């Protein structure tokens, strides 16, 4: 009788433990599912990086009134007509209005970060027209491999110019290890005798410093000539299209996408691509590592509204109203298209022409 009672008690205890185990498993699954979808964030800046661990995660962005899906390393906006991801990809199945997402550029409206850059209230302005979601375009494998292959420049960049004879742009913001190793090339702009350093990144060759060529409407940040010597000049897009010297051009949005792809493939770390293009100087929050010698600066802008918000690196593309941002408080390279950007002054990084 005693043995029978003991067996019954053991059996009852097993049932209790089993129930507890099921409860723990359920709780763990619910926790994992909750982690997949983070409800909502205020702006795209708050999404964070789309990592492998977050693949399939969907987040509602309040500012854009849209859902964003983490897929293949990019945040994609959902089409207004397409169904939201299945439960295998996300715990939500809602549909929201959004713009197309060909993974060509990331979107955002005015970012609110502290800044002493010139700007005025934008209350009377229309909301910006923002292009597709994502910081880089989708490029085929063969094209990606081509982008990684160095090419011979169409001009001799090995010439050393005497800075006592020519006006050499300051090298204090460049990657000093690369500078000491002689990796940077040099280019003389015969229009004004300024000498720029150049850098090869994959198959592309860039000026490693912001353009400082005087045009009719270009300005210095805060109207201080000393800032032009450090950060280059700021241009309206109409002048920017013609400001680069012969043999160079204002890069298109597609060419910026190509740079983003090169960085993604070759970077030595897991930070956002923007941090690998930033100089290790002039930034106060997300400090750059400048792996590729691009040495992007927090060079600011001028305009009547916030561009990317604060003292960031803001660069024109040759596509109408489109520009790129290296953000002081974010790690990625962002892309924007805003119709009233024609009234803004931004930096220029010239790209060498193809052969």
Task: Summarize pLDDT for 130-163 with one digit per residue, the tens.
Answer: 333 334 444 556 567 788 888 888 889 999 999 9
Provide the pLDDT for residue 45. 61
Instruction: Please report, for residues 235, 248, 251, 325, the alpha-carbon distance to residue 217 in angstroms, rounded to integers and kept in the order given.
Output: 7, 21, 20, 22
Residue range 247-273, pLDDT digits in tens: 999 999 999 999 999 999 999 999 999
Mean pLDDT of the chain: 75
CA distance 310 to 89: 36
Is residue 23, in this structure, part of any structural domain at all?
A: no
Structural domain contains residue 331: yes
Contacts of 187 (CB under 8 A, 6+ apart): 155, 157, 195, 196, 197, 198, 207, 245, 248
Judge whether 73 lies within some domain. no
CA separation for the pair 176, 195 (Å, rounded):
17
> For residue 127, is it within any domain?
no
Residue 12 pLDDT greater than 70, yes or no: no
Whether the per-residue pLDDT at 288 is higher than 80: the answer is: yes
Tell me: the pLDDT tens digits for 52-64?
A: 778 888 888 776 6
Residue 108 lies in a domain: no
Instruction: State how far the Cα of 323 lies from the Cα of 341, in Å rounded to an integer.
Output: 9
* pLDDT average, residue stretch 26-55: 60
Residue 34 scores a pLDDT above 50: no
Please tell me the predicted confidence (pLDDT) of residue 133.
Answer: 33
Is 89 domain-assigned? no
Decide if pLDDT at 22 tops 60: no
pTM score, whole prediction: 0.63
Residue 338 lies in a domain: yes
Q: Is the pLDDT of residue 186 over 60?
A: yes
Q: Do residues 195 and 168 make contact, with C-beta atoms less than 8 angstroms apart?
A: yes
Domain tally, the chain: 1
- Mean per-residue pLDDT, 306-319: 81
Residues spanned by the domain of 252: 141-352
pLDDT band at 306 (very low <50, low <70, confident <90, very high): low
Mean pLDDT of 18-29: 43
More confident site: 40 or 99: 40
Determine, yes or no, domain membership for 130: no
pLDDT at 159: 94
pLDDT of residue 132: 35
């Amino acid at each position: 009788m005693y043995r029978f009672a003991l067996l019954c008690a053991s059996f009852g205890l097993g049932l209790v433990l089993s129930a507890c185990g099921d409860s723990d498993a359920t709780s763990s699954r619910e926790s994992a599912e909750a982690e997949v979808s983070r409800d909502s964030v205020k702006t795209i800046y708050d999404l964070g990086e789309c990592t492998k661990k977050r693949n399939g995660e969907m987040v509602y962005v309040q500012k854009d009134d849209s859902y964003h899906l983490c897929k293949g390393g990019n945040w994609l906006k959902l089409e207004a007509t397409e169904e939201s991801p299945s439960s295998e990809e996300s715990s939500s199945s809602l549909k929201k209005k959004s713009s197309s997402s060909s993974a060509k550029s990331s979107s955002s409206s005015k970012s609110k970060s502290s800044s002493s850059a010139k700007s005025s209230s934008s209350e009377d302005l229309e909301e910006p027209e923002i292009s597709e979601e994502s910081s880089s375009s989708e490029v085929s494998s063969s094209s990606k491999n081509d982008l990684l292959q160095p090419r011979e420049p169409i001009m001799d960049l090995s010439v050393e110019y005497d800075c006592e004879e020519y006006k050499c742009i300051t090298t204090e913001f460049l990657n000093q290890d690369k500078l000491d190793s002689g990796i940077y090339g040099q280019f003389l702009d015969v229009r004004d005798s300024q000498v720029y350093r150049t850098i090869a990144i994959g198959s592309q060759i860039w000026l490693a410093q912001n353009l400082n060529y005087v045009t009719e409407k270009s300005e210095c940040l805060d109207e201080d000539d000393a800032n032009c010597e450090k950060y280059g000049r700021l241009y309206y897009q109409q002048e920017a299209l013609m400001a680069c010297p012969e043999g160079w051009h204002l890069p298109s949005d597609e060419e910026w996408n190509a740079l983003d792809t090169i960085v993604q493939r070759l970077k030595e770390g897991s930070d956002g691509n923007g941090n690998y293009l930033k100089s290790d100087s002039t930034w106060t929050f997300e400090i750059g590592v400048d792996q590729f010698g691009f040495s992007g600066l927090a060079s600011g802008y001028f305009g009547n509204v916030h561009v990317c918000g604060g003292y960031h690196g803001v660069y024109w593309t040759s596509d109408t109203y489109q520009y790129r941002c290296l953000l002081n408080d974010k790690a990625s390279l962002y892309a924007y298209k805003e119709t009233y950007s024609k009234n803004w002054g931004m930096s220029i990084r010239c790209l060498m022409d193809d052969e």
